[in-house]
Amino acid sequence: MAAFEDVILRNDKEALHQLFTAAPRNAVNSVNADGFTPLYFACMKTSVSLSTIEELIRLGADVNGRGIDNETALYISVYNRRSDVAEHLLGVRADVNAVNGVWKETVLHVAARLGYGDLVTLLLRAGAERNTRNGKLETPLFAAAKAGRHETVYLLLDAGANPAITNEDDKSPLYIASEKGFKHVVVLLKASRGDLKHAKAEADAEWRLRPEPVMSSDEILDRASKDKGFTAAVKLRSSAITEPVPETKPMEVVDIKVPEPKVRTHNPITGESYGPCRSLEEVGYDAPPPVPKELQNLPPAQLPRVGGTSMVVGTGTEDGSREPFRVDTLGSDATQYSAPHK
């Protein structure tokens, strides 16, 4: 039999019908080299249409068949958030409580952990067991709390999930949410069932305060395939600048004059002056010259008054102050002496 992958990816229902009609009996449930059945492969590829999947089921594909990964078509459909495919599989009696993969979890574990509220609602309506435990003894509620998915935590609590069931480490959903710092989840798990709606509003407010989680490469590609606005934003961030670079004039070069250090005025060794100002010794004086007689014993310069007070500034006699003593007038005929009183 020819490989079925290409026919399924082309969504060619006529070729698909011809392929499996001419093939040996039950070939529609065989596995390829990767261990995938045709139905599992079709549900795994998001480009495959629902009508192609419906055609495979009409050709006899087992909706509960498994490949090498021990996962059902419903499991991979929920993982890829293909609500239309999951709803159709449930309509043709896919086992909603089937155990899948190495972790032995149900489709409700996957939907709760990934935060797919629409699928959680769909699976619960289809009869999914709320408190089933996987290989680590984790319930769907525990998986949602551990991943910080307050939307699915709310849906499970509202559906009657038991928040007291612990995992293999004896940790409850409230414990794991507190351990990871998911306050928006803790608010829900601590609320009574009657206060769930009020707690949900508080949880939404707390969740909006949290930074947006970093998306993985697969999540970016998946969202880009569905959201055109997101695709445009990614291209805008990653594309090169298309606008012409404006012309700029060359910068004007300005000479910078670096200040020179201050020149010494004297020779540090001989003491000789370098400039026009010389010391007395350099100009021939051994001592300061005598003060001329006409400049001797002159009164100090008269200073002006300060402000509007009556305080006299200076030592001149014109302002009423007392004339200072002169050294050369002591002992003259005008000096009067008086003996101290005993």
How many Cα atoms occupy the beta-carbon half-sphere of 181 within 13 Å?
3
Whether residue 25 is found in the same domain as residue 125: no
Is residue 141 included in any domain, yes or no?
yes
125-174: pLDDT as tens digits: 999 999 999 999 999 999 999 999 999 999 999 999 999 999 999 999 99
Q: Going by C-beta distance under 8 Å and a sequence separation of 6 or more, which residues neighbour residue 340?
A: none
Do 82 and 153 belong to one domain? no
Q: What share of the chain is helix, strand, coil (3-state, %, to 5)?
A: 40, 0, 55
Q: Which residues contact 264 (CB under 8 A, 6 or more apart)?
A: 274
Inter-residue contact 148 to 177 (CB < 8 Å) = yes
Range of the domain at 160: 99-211
Domain boundary among 56, 75, 95: 95
Out of 60, 95, 130, a domain closes at 95
Question: Is residue 124 located within the same domain as residue 79?
Answer: no
pLDDT of residue 1: 46
Residue 9, domain member (yes or no): yes
Amino acid letter at 319? D
Residue 90 shares a structural domain with residue 129: no
The answer to whether residue 241 is domain-embedded is no
> Bridge-partner residues for 283, per DSSP?
none
Tens digit of each residue's pLDDT (9 = 90 or more) over 78-93: 999 999 999 999 999 9
If asked whether residues 81 and 110 sit together in one domain, one would say no
Using CB atoms within 10 Å of the CB of residue 117, give its burial: 0 to 12 exposed, 13 to 18 middle, 19+ buried.
Answer: middle
Same domain, 24 and 107: no
Q: Do residues 60 and 130 share a domain?
A: no
In a domain, 217, yes or no: no
Note whether 111 and 82 are same-domain residues.
no
Q: Are residues 108 and 91 in the same domain?
A: no
Q: What is the pLDDT of residue 325?
A: 54
pTM exceeding 0.75: no
Evaluate whether residue 257 is within a structural domain: no
DSSP β-bridge partners for residue 273: 266
Q: Which residues, including other chains, have CB under 8 Å from residue 341's CB and lie 6 or more apart?
A: none
Judgement on whether residues 78 and 116 belong to the same structural domain of the protein:
no
Q: Are 18 and 59 in contact (CB under 8 A)?
A: no
In a domain? residue 335: no
Which residue ranges of the chain lie beneath pLDDT 50?
1, 312, 315, 317, 320
Q: Where are the alpha helices (DSSP H) in the chain?
A: 5-9, 13-22, 38-44, 50-58, 73-79, 83-91, 107-114, 117-125, 140-147, 150-158, 173-179, 183-189, 196-209, 217-226, 228-238
Residue 340 token pair: 């101290």
Hey, what are 120's tokens? Answer: 């959680």
Among 78, 95, 112, give the residue marking a domain's end: 95
Same domain, residue pair 113 and 201:
yes
| Count of domains forming the chain | 2
Q: Residues 206-215: contacts with CB within 8 Å, 24+ apart?
A: 207/150, 210/184
The answer to whether 113 and 143 are in contact (CB under 8 A) is: yes
Question: Which residue, chain included where needed, has tokens 């009020």?
Answer: 198
DSSP 295: G
Note whether 61 and 38 are within 8 A (CB).
Answer: yes
Separation CA 139–CA 167 (nearest Å): 8
CATH number at residue 176: 1.25.40.20
Q: How many residues does this entry show for the chain?
A: 342
CA 144, CA 302: separation in Å to the nearest integer? 97
Examine residue 193 and state whether it is found in any structural domain, yes or no. yes
- Are 113 and 172 members of one domain? yes
Whether residue 17 is contained in a domain is answered as: yes
Estimate to the nearest angstrom the gap between the alpha carbon of 310 and the chain centroid: 74
